[in-house]
Structure 1
Amino acid sequence: MTRHATFTVDGMSCASCVDRVERALKSVPGVEDAEVNLIAGTARVDFSDATDTLALAGALSAAGYPAAEAEARLEVEGMTCASCVGRVELALKAVPGVTATEVNLATGSARVRFTSGTTTPEALAAAAAAAGYAARPAANAGPAPDRQAEEAARLRRAFVLAALLTIPVVVLAMGTHMVPAFHHWVMVTLGERASWLIQFVLTALILAGPGAVFFRHGISALLRGAPEMNSLVALGSLAAFAYSTVATFAPGLLPEAARGVYFEAAATIVTLILLGRMLEARAKGRAGEAIRRLIGLRPDTARVERGGSVAEVPVESLIAGDIVRLAPGERVAVDGVVTEGHGWIDESMLTGEPEPAEKSPGAPVTGGTVNGPAALSFRVTATGEGTVLARIIALVADAQGAKLPVQALVDRITLWFVPAVMALAAATVLVWLFLGPDPALTHALVAGISVLIIACPCAMGLATPVSILVGTGRGAELGLLFRRGDALQRLAEAKVVAFDKTGTLTEGKPALTDLIAAPGFAADEVLALAAAAEARSEHPLARAILAEAGARGLTLPAAEAARALPGRGLAARVAGRDILIGNARALTEAGIDPAALLAEADRLAALARTPILVAVDGRVAALLAVADPVKPSARAAIAALHEMGVQTAMISGDTSATAGAIAAALGIDHVEAEVLPEGKVAALETLKTSGTTAFVGDGINDAPALAAADIGIAMGTGTDVAMEAAEVVLMTGDPAAVADALRLSRATMRNIRQNLFWAFGYNVLLIPVAAGALYPANGMLLSPMLAAGAMALSSVFVVTNALRLRRAGPWRRA
């Protein structure tokens, strides 16, 4: 049996870290798969009963990336004295992974800290219950703290302190070089040695304080033989500090020409990289705003009818069946069905549609949407994790944690990147020592430190996931849900988009347009028999026949038996008569000659109407025609796809004439008509010869095709089965959203390519410069301070570039 756990992992800062965490987890016996998300700082693990979460947490700690601690709050019942408190604490502490407990008798609550991923609040509540004290996770515990905001605040404090300490160091070191009068004043008032001592003290405080994080993670990783980003920073700043310390306190160990200090380099390296990380954390926080905005759509309370009165209660206490009063302008608390009132609800935050949706009794409402000027009442149908909003948040979170195929190449490169940089830095030092001009040691030190500092695996690691994070978040705001992150890449590669017809390109609400009775039959009589046979069918065409019978006020006899003929029609026995409803194939296979009405059927099909033949007791009785109006935006959607160089196709069970007429009206390139449900997969296989193929559908019968397509796109107005089979869900029923999803996926992939080009190009170009490749030509040797600034800006550039995706679209309203 496969189990899953998600750990919050501390200490990851670059793609090398991601690779090492994944390898550490996959090395644990029983682990089937591990997927690490650098942006979210999480690791999702699939594992069997051969291991447990404690072993996984231990592997993370051994690798130097311990699982972060989480906190749960429990409401505990039945505690009456201090002994009860002690028993609950003992029970909770016995749960594997728990690190601290705090039980409060007065409030009847417990706070538990545990290693993330090793247990859950539900398991903790069960442990307390097993000790005899009923417990449950606290409903009002409030949202978890924003880790990105906390990280940005911590880095801001560290940067400010480092900057305050660095400024005097830089002034003393660089001011004396740049301003001769200042140099003279320092030499007269302080003296060179006192100046160096002040720089030593301030730099030591920086390295031991704000910069300690680099040494804590970097040196330990180095000792484990797994160097990463922090190791480069630690080695570079430590080398500059150690060299300068020797020059200050034991100058005799160095050649006279090489007796100089680089305290300002060590201090500035730490300060600039802290600045870069602070800006990066702030930018990543903005990148994840989409989910926070979605979470913010949930109101805290709702007004519920209970006991003959209306009470305001926490949303968490709502249950299915509750009747909720919705005031004008109020946000809908949970999913439900309108029971009273008529009005309009703004659903744009979920669907991306600008126009409000009309609501009357029987219409669904979705939690998080905003009511218009009319008061409504609705019956709750889903709460908590079962609501549409909760599922959207989960879908977006899952997609944001996914890896794209393009990331595999990055992972392979970054696995060796840091060791390669360290080897290159060592080689640079040796080359300068043996071939460089005097002072060779100084030049070797500067070049080696610059190589270590300028290399930036962070930008490589961030290039793909941060774009996915922003792109999928923006998609959620536009009503475009990518259920899997890799769907972004595959959709961007689509060469063919195939549509189901009914409910996708058309309204899915067909109406009867023609009724032609054969000689010897009365139109109303045949319509009543057909409607009786179709009474239990959910097919849109059946509903059109029933609606027309109802409009004519016909009394329907009882159907004794009815059976569906997939892709053909329906057979039934009604009022003692055998009824067959379907296409010409259905009648021919039953031995009934449809020739009498075929010419009329062809004429109606050419008008984009669906002909339906009705046979009674083995004779052709009537021809019905049903038309399903094409959605207003369908033609524009097809045109938009053509503008992007994508071929279009339509796969339909309708007659060739009807499907061809609709396709011609919309400008669709290729038509597959009279296709049985199981034949849609075969039709897709044919289309795949033209390239990566996406299929757009909305019905249960579309699920196999959605799963078989390279990319399945489900309309959110369709069935849950269709949406589960698809990789992309469009919350709106607008086919133009297909073009929007393709635009967004291409914009995201373009953004990823830009980030990767910058991340790799930056390193390819600047590492040789840092090593001194330009020195023979123009005497240029890159300062470690400039290297630190360039490295910090590299990561900031990647994240800032990805943030541009927040402004993508909305194309349909452009």
Structure 2
Amino acid sequence: MDKKAGEVNMIETIHLDIKGMYCSACSGRIEKSVLKMDGIFDVNINMATEKGRIVYDSIHTNKLLILERIKKLGYSPSIINPKALIAEEKKDEEIYSLTWKVIFSILFAIPLVLTMAVQSGWMNIDLPSLFFSPWFQLLLATPIQFIIAFPFYEGAWNSIKNRGATMDVLVVISTTSAYFYSHFLTVRSLHMDLEKTPIHLHFETSVLIITFVLIGKLMEAKTKRKTLDAIYSLNKLKVNTVTIIENGFQFNKSIKDISPGDIVLSRPGERIPIDGLIIYGNTMMNEAMLTGESIPIEKNAGEMVYAGTVNVNSVIQIKATTNHQETVLSKIIGIVEEAQLSKPPIQNIADRFTSIFVPIVLLLGFLTFIIWYYFIAPSDLSSALEKMIAVLIISCPCALGLATPMSIMVGSGQAARLGILFKEGKMIELLSKNDVVVLDKTGTITKGKPQVTDMLVRNIDETLFLQMVGAVERGANHPIGNCINEAIEKKVSLIPLAQMIKIIPGYGVEGEVKDKKIIIANVRYFERLAILTNLTPVLKEAKVLEQQGKTVMIVAINEQIHGIIAVRDAIKRSSEKAVLRLKSMGLEVAMLSGDNQSATKNIASKVGVDLYVAEMSPQNKAEWIKASQKQGKRIMMVGDGINDAPALSIADVGVALGTGTDIAVESGDVTIMNGDLNRLVDAIVISKKTMVNIKQNISWAFIYNLVCIPLAAMGVLPPWFAGAAMAFSSISVVLNSLRLKKI
């Protein structure tokens, strides 16, 4: 949207629950109409979940105007909190209502169907003479046509009023034509001898079409309920009532009333209600909902615990660090919901087709009527009407509209069960298209928890050296710095406060301690600083350690070399197997590391990575990816989300490996919560199978229409069969999507 120079944008996002959508044409109409408004940047409407997300400029429009626009289209929007619990009861109410509508429709349809079967010679049974009365059939059909099917009329009127065409229009035109033509014949029968001149009514056609459409909607609602199981199961991990401790007494409190700083009591077997810090006690914690690993891990005082995990065996007290809407569990639910709402690029194919499909079908139906009435069966209104109705009903584009969102919902839900989070639905498609997988070393292939193996101190008191190094490393949030700091804390108890701490990207860290400038960096950094004295012998020692596959950090204090610290990081057990699996899928695997050549080569050879580049800064990694992309390659970058942020952002897909809690890494498009590279392979498998599933659904929807529309136009498919086939096509798409639950 064009903006005047200097104009300020106030970007806001609203999430909506939208009732009254029946097919992809509905969601498409809402998107097109809202996008025409001033100040609208993005609109995503998901017909399957009946939810929408709209990004807008609050200076040029507002929530009320957006809601009013959608209401004018004939739908019922309401603003929802994206962090709030999903209202399962709403979906249950829809299923309950549809169930009763289907029951009444079937009961009223049975006499009409039996009558049609006897009159057509399909069955030879004795029926009450009342069944053959046109007035009795009119009495049965009327409540179905105008009470049970009233939502179709309402939707069709709103669609036509706003110059659109949806499935409702097709259902209303076809069933109303059959009903009123039969009504006309019923009134005319008052002046006819039905025994001599029997008439063929079509009440069963309208009733059966409505019944089959309702049955299809009921089955869709039930199966869609299953596709949301991942979200529902995550929501069930939330705790509603919490036991807190105040002034030595215990109280029960709603989770909504818990604030950071509250002391929460957790007993054995209970789920942790809130993210917080253990301040009393220790226990074993089952964090399977975060990491996918069911083996409990030990948690002691001073360590974090997270909402939804299970306290296995001891009473602990937790100091809340968040409110209930900001927990890791809430963030996971939010990410999964966002992924299910957003559309992958392949959805554009279906959207473009369905936007023009209904008008084309209306034209085809009209042409079918003209051809039959004037050419094939001249003046046979009943026959021409049947063929037109069959064409209109068989063509409802429900299956096409469900093809993509259903697969995305199930695929992303299954991924969430394994601890894999797709930030957007489109990432499922993009992840399946990569040629090269680029892996970071530290924290990705290795455990990211290196151990100090060598510490050489020169010309300085060792305690003073350790204090200065420990003070600076405390401010460096990096695996190597953390391990150095842990090793130092075991040797000295008093560590001063460092100032002016500054990360040297790709090299190390620097800071000031007691007015002394401390630099802790790798060999490459110091090779550039010729001004430093006593450097040559230190570099020789460092090279020897590097040849042993160790990572070496040199320590300079006021431009004088005073020590060497060497660390070695263990390889994750899963890394070698994961690299082998990636190669077996035909993917090229590369490793980019900021570490020295020897250490990088050592790790690469052990896990089976043939292409590796050492001594790379974060910016170098990003430039390497850019160069590969210019060669036409699609790059997936996998890193820890901290130092690798530039590379993760520039890659076609950035995959951030977390620890089960680092799920909000902004630079990653996909997050693997337990940091296991095998989960990366699982994510690729899920994405590929989901895309295959989407293509199957879209292909089935296209083939179904290509085959059935001509058959309906030729009179091979009667209207009631067309209604059943249309319902079956939608159900088959949903059932095919549910096969992804077996991944």
- The two structures have a TM-score, normalised by structure 2, of 0.90
- 1:710 aligned partner: 652
Letter in 1 for 2:73: A
Equivalent residue for 1:241, pick from 168, 172, 179 = 179
- 1:24 aligned partner: 33
Confirm or deny: 8 A CA contact 1:703 1:722 kept in the other structure: no
Equivalent residue for 1:627, pick from 568, 573, 579 = 568
Higher RCO (Cα < 8 Å, 6 or more apart): 2
- Shift in Å, 1:669: 3.5
* Partner-residue secondary structure (3-state), 2:276: strand
Task: Return closer, same or farther for 1:481/1:517 CA change in 2, 3 Å cut-off.
Answer: same
How many Å separate the matches in 2 of 1:708 and 1:363?
Answer: 34
Structure 1 residue 274 corresponds to structure 2 residue 214: yes
Letter in 2 for 1:748: T
Indicate the larger mover: 239-248 or 217-226: 217-226
Structure 1 residue 431 corresponds to structure 2 residue 441: no
- 2:153 aligned partner: 215
How many Å separate the matches in 2 of 1:320 and 1:52?
Answer: 33
How many Å separate the matches in 2 of 1:554 and 1:57?
Answer: 62
How many Å separate the matches in 2 of 1:454 and 1:257?
Answer: 32
Equivalent residue for 2:242, pick from 302, 319, 330 = 302
How many Å separate the matches in 2 of 1:171 and 1:633?
Answer: 64
Structure 1 residue 797 corresponds to structure 2 residue 732: yes
- 2:436 aligned partner: 496
Equivalent residue for 1:762, pick from 704, 707, 720 = 704
Task: Return closer, same or farther for 1:222/1:674 CA change in 2, 3 Å cut-off.
Answer: same
Task: Return closer, same or farther for 1:199/1:664 CA change in 2, 3 Å cut-off.
Answer: same
How many Å separate the matches in 1 of 2:326 and 2:493?
Answer: 41
- Shift in Å, 1:771: 1.0
Letter in 1 for 2:89: D
Aligned length: 725
Confirm or deny: 8 A CA contact 2:175 2:209 kept in the other structure: yes
Equivalent residue for 2:305, pick from 362, 365, 369 = 365
- Shift in Å, 1:159: 0.5
Q: In percent, how many aligned pairs have the same letter?
A: 34
Equivalent residue for 2:61, pick from 32, 51, 54 = 51
Letter in 1 for 2:166: E
- 1:676 aligned partner: 617
Task: Return closer, same or farther for 1:723/1:435 CA change in 2, 3 Å cut-off.
Answer: same
How many Å separate the matches in 1 of 2:396 and 2:581?
Answer: 40
Deviations 1:227-250 (A, max 9, x none): 210111111112222232333332
Structure 1 residue 176 corresponds to structure 2 residue 176: no
- 1:2 aligned partner: 11
Task: Return closer, same or farther for 1:473/1:166 CA change in 2, 3 Å cut-off.
Answer: same
Confirm or deny: 8 A CA contact 1:698 1:718 kept in the other structure: no
- 2:668 aligned partner: 726
How many Å separate the matches in 2 of 1:584 and 1:682?
Answer: 22
- 1:776 aligned partner: none
- In the alignment, structure 2 segments of 5+ residues that lack a partner are 1-9
How many Å separate the matches in 2 of 1:62 and 1:682?
Answer: 50
Indicate the larger mover: 583-592 or 493-502: 583-592
Q: How does 1:738-757 map to 2 (within 5 A)?
A: 738-757=680-699
Letter in 1 for 2:147: G
Taking only aligned residues, the RMSD between alpha carbons, in angstroms, comes to 3.1
Deviations 1:478-515 (A, max 9, x none): 21111211111111112222222222222222111134
Letter in 2 for 1:646: L
Equivalent residue for 1:585, pick from 524, 528, 550 = 524
How many Å separate the matches in 2 of 1:507 and 1:425?
Answer: 65
- 1:637 aligned partner: 578
* Partner-residue secondary structure (3-state), 2:219: helix
- 2:4 aligned partner: none
Letter in 2 for 1:178: G
- 1:106 aligned partner: none
How many Å separate the matches in 1 of 2:546 and 2:632?
Answer: 29
Equivalent residue for 1:400, pick from 325, 333, 340 = 340
How many Å separate the matches in 1 of 2:289 and 2:660?
Answer: 19
How many Å separate the matches in 2 of 1:180 and 1:539?
Answer: 80
- 1:544 aligned partner: 483
Structure 1 residue 324 corresponds to structure 2 residue 264: yes
How many Å separate the matches in 2 of 1:559 and 1:202?
Answer: 86
How many Å separate the matches in 1 of 2:141 and 2:423?
Answer: 49
How many Å separate the matches in 1 of 2:507 and 2:179?
Answer: 83
How many Å separate the matches in 1 of 2:362 and 2:675?
Answer: 55
Task: Return closer, same or farther for 1:258/1:628 CA change in 2, 3 Å cut-off.
Answer: farther
How many Å separate the matches in 2 of 1:142 and 1:410?
Answer: 31
How many Å separate the matches in 2 of 1:227 and 1:632?
Answer: 57
Deviations 1:216-263 (A, max 9, x none): 22244245442210111111112222232333332699xx99952222
Indicate the larger mover: 411-420 or 507-516: 507-516
How many Å separate the matches in 2 of 1:15 and 1:376?
Answer: 51
How many Å separate the matches in 2 of 1:494 and 1:451?
Answer: 42
* Partner-residue secondary structure (3-state), 2:106: helix
Deviations 1:613-634 (A, max 9, x none): 3456766555432101111211
Confirm or deny: 8 A CA contact 2:523 2:542 kept in the other structure: no
* Partner-residue secondary structure (3-state), 2:665: helix
- Shift in Å, 1:604: 3.3
Deviations 1:703-751 (A, max 9, x none): 2222222112122228869712212122212222211221222222121
Deviations 1:763-812 (A, max 9, x none): 1111111111xxxxxxx62111111111001111111111222232xxxx
Deviations 1:442-485 (A, max 9, x none): 43222211111111311111111111122222222221111211
- Shift in Å, 1:36: 1.3
Indicate the larger mover: 142-151 or 638-647: 142-151
Confirm or deny: 8 A CA contact 1:432 1:443 kept in the other structure: yes
Equivalent residue for 1:567, pick from 502, 506, 509 = 506
Letter in 2 for 1:541: I
How many Å separate the matches in 2 of 1:554 and 1:66?
Answer: 64
- 2:5 aligned partner: none
Letter in 2 for 1:587: F
- Shift in Å, 1:677: 2.4
Indicate the larger mover: 686-695 or 555-564: 555-564
Deviations 1:10-68 (A, max 9, x none): 3211111111111222233333332211122233333332333333233223222243x
